[in-house]
Amino acid sequence: MRESELRNLLDDLSVEEKVGQLFQLSGSFLVDNAVITGSWDNQELSEQELAVTGSVLSISGAGEIKRIQEECMSRQPHHIPALFMLDIINGYHTIFPISLAQGATFEPELAQRGAEIAAKEGAAAGLHVTFSPMADLVRDARWGRVMESTGEDPYLNSCFSAAMVRGYQGNDVREKGRLAACVKHFAGYGAPEGGRDYDNVELSERTLREAYLPAYEAAIKAGAKLVMTSFNSLNGIPASANKKLMRNVLRQEMNFDGVLISDYDAVGELLNHGIAEDGKAAAKLAIEAGVDIEMVSQHYLRHMSELMERGEVPVELLDQAVWRVLKLKNSLGLFENPYKDADEEAEKQIVLCREHREMARETARKSFVLLENKEEILPLRAETGKKIAFIGPYADSQEICGSWSFPPKDSGVVSIKKGMMEKNPAAAMCFHEGCYILRQDWCLKNGEQLVFNEDKAKHLMAEAVNAARGADTVVLCLGEHYQQSGEGASRTVLQIPEEQKKLLREVTKVNSNIVTLVFTGRPLELEEEANLSKAVMIVWFPGTESGGAIADVLLGEKEPGGRLPMSFPYRAAQMPLYYNRFRTGRPSEDGAIGSFRTGYVDQVDKALYPFGSGIGYTRFQYGSIWITRQVLTGGQPILAFCMVTNVGKRAGTETVQLYLADLHASVIRPVRQLRGFQKITLAPGESCEVVFEIREEMLRFWDSEMNYVSEPGQCMVFIGHDSTAENSAQFVLE
């Protein structure tokens, strides 16, 4: 529709119709199989309110959406099509590794291709918008939603959030196979006090801008059509009522002119926050802050007309919000084709097709992070006769898609057993559950009670220990329950569940050739596992093709490609834990225990496994760094060269990382910051000269007056394997 026609449509709308465009109905009101993603769901709607509804949450399926779209348009007085939105976070039905795993690939292009596939499947299933990318920076593994992020680094997160937007939206969301992206949760949701979900966030302006805002801004610069408000308050004001954050920072500074949607009932939660006495006050605060669509709660629906009539809210605010919603619908081409890509036949062909599964499998392999590989026990040598015992609750489980995955029942998620049997049917392998994943005292967040039978537990353990005794190698398949991470899943104990640690201890008493695979949505304490195993590999929650990807890597056809996007601690008590921390006046030497130094007297103050770490099946050597000039000036970048050699026995891929450190500035600066990475693949003995550009803007920060500047002085460049790399060179910023 031409903009002039759209403007005429807006002018034609009644206040009730305008308000309806700003209301998002929970799909559970219309169908029984809608995913419920929020706590509040007591929707009561009049026929008139239902008739003017502008968008629907959490319904999918081409046939279902076409039917509901037809109903919506027939009821809507101007027959305006509804928007259909869903959390397509780890893919639609072809489930990819969780976002934290995708961050571990250090390959944004891979996440872009994954987002393209998710969009193709979601669009064929009738959807228009996905609530992704989640661009929240995270530093505290107690928070369950770290699994949805791409980690603790602003630069890495920015690369991924922009890539995902490009993948979902392409050059034009009207095109077939494209979805509008909604970047979330604006802002600072990843920094709740104590790692407790939904808790308050207190961030200095500098930390907010330097660490937490960049990835949202990168997604917006990449063209994200929507932004979602976060549940948390930021420095005392809940996001959905935070004018400064939404109108000054988001709209003016970041130049965002798309749709701002609240999180699920976040407008209603302004009453719980205590900053709105009633629904009318909540609606006023939210529309003044710039929230366009209210998700599920109905305060706009119930109070906006009255606020308009009484002149308590200027009608312009309503019109501006409705205009943005109508423009979004128009950009999707819904006025010409309200069903967009919804096509039952195409859905059958596209969803879970071989090509998509292959992509999911490749992404999974590249996300696995091998932390230990003593005696090069991996890859497994599956010589004939050598017995491999796969032991643990994940040895043959299909519950290996992360939170926010909604794979259909028949999607054929590939377990480790299935993957291994398909790849190596002749191998002497056995598979034993070994123990329950959790004891019954764990009530999962969906209220599911786990059954626990003491006798069965004893039998499982005895059987597994017996199998371990007779095996040449044991592959322990352990980890969190997938519902122990995700929304509403903050934990104080960051460990593999105790039942499984018992299994680990019993099995390692009878066999020392242990490979431990860890399914997890977050960093965990893994010192005991590392001491009792020869190999430890983080597989996260790999999705539909888990078993195939794990088989590819265990048997050596491919190597594990991941590097940690979050620091793994010795202890949960170290949280928040992140590599790019500010300097202090009493730095400890490499975190060593020492009184009167920054750190602890009972724990080394560093990560057990640092950001950026992980190994493959070969080894790399770094030469010294050579830089083209010792002085960096504003206009002219410095080039930094470093020779990297594969000194191992097989080809492999290394993620070469570039860090910069500003040694002196008017405010304290991080000990180092990731400013570049390159993945190189080298044959045995092959060398490659990796080149990075160092530009003045990489050294900018917010000074004491909150100006975004760089300052002259000594700097260091590090090029190496991870965030502890010592390979460095000095230069001066003029």
Taking CB under 6 A as the criterion, which residues in 285-304 touch ligand GLC?
none
Taking CB under 6 A as the criterion, which residues in 472-531 touch ligand GLC?
487
Is 264 near ligand GLC (CB under 6 A)?
Answer: yes
Q: Which C-beta is closer to ligand GLC: that of 60 or that of 330?
A: 60
Is 184 near ligand GLC (CB under 6 A)?
Answer: yes
Is 605 near ligand GLC (CB under 6 A)?
Answer: no
CB of 189 to ligand GLC, least distance (A): 8
650 - beta bridge partners? none
* Residue sitting closest to ligand GLC (CB): 37
Residue pointed to by tokens 């119930």: 302
134 - beta bridge partners? 184
CB of 724 to ligand GLC, least distance (A): 33
Residues in binding contact with ligand GLC, number by CB under 6 A: 8
In whole angstroms, give the CA distance from residue 567 to residue 565: 7
Q: Which C-beta is closer to ligand GLC: that of 48 or that of 272?
A: 272
Task: Put residue 591 in one of left, alpha, beta given phi > 0 → left and psi -120 to 50 → alpha.
Answer: left
In whole angstroms, give the CA distance from residue 208 to residue 229: 15
In whole angstroms, give the CA distance from residue 220 to residue 57: 22
Is 653 near ligand GLC (CB under 6 A)?
Answer: no
Q: Which C-beta is closer to ligand GLC: that of 131 or that of 323?
A: 131
CA 607 to chain CA mean position, Å: 21
Among 85, 105, 87, which residue's Cα sits nearest to residue 97? 105
Q: Which C-beta is closer to ligand GLC: that of 198 or that of 339?
A: 198
Q: Please give the single-letter amino acid code of residue 192.
A: P
CB of 180 to ligand GLC, least distance (A): 13
CB of 263 to ligand GLC, least distance (A): 5
CB of 300 to ligand GLC, least distance (A): 17
658 - beta bridge partners? 676, 719
Is 131 near ligand GLC (CB under 6 A)?
Answer: yes
* First CA to last CA distance, the chain: 53
CB of 277 to ligand GLC, least distance (A): 24
Q: Which C-beta is closer to ligand GLC: that of 131 or that of 168?
A: 131
- Token pair, residue 490, equals 């903050």
Q: Which of 37, 105, 373, 520 binds ligand GLC (CB under 6 A)?
A: 37
CB of 145 to ligand GLC, least distance (A): 8
Q: Which C-beta is closer to ligand GLC: that of 198 or that of 641?
A: 198
H or E segment to which residue 219 belongs: helix 214-221
- Token pair, residue 731, equals 């230069």
Q: Which of 263, 433, 552, 654 binds ligand GLC (CB under 6 A)?
A: 263
Q: Which C-beta is closer to ligand GLC: that of 106 or that of 131?
A: 131
Q: Which of 197, 263, 265, 722 is catalytic?
A: 263
CA 69 to chain CA mean position, Å: 31
In whole angstroms, give the CA distance from residue 181 to residue 226: 6
Ordered DSSP codes for 102-123: HHHTT-HHHHHHHHHHHHHHHH
Is 186 near ligand GLC (CB under 6 A)?
Answer: no
H or E segment to which residue 674 belongs: strand 673-682
Q: Which of 64, 87, 107, 347 binds ligand GLC (CB under 6 A)?
A: 87
| DSSP code at position 250 | I
Is 38 near ligand GLC (CB under 6 A)?
Answer: yes
Q: What angle do CA 326, 329, 331 make, to 5 degrees?
A: 110
| DSSP code at position 609 | B
Q: Which C-beta is closer to ligand GLC: that of 111 or that of 530?
A: 111
Whether 263 sits among the annotated catalytic residues: the reply is yes
CB of 96 to ligand GLC, least distance (A): 17
**Phi/psi of residue 529, nearest 5 degrees:** -60, -40
Q: What angle do CA 103, 105, 109 make, to 5 degrees?
A: 90
Give the residue numbers marked as catalytic.
263
Interface residues toward ligand GLC, by CB under 6 A:
37-38, 87, 131, 184, 263-264, 487
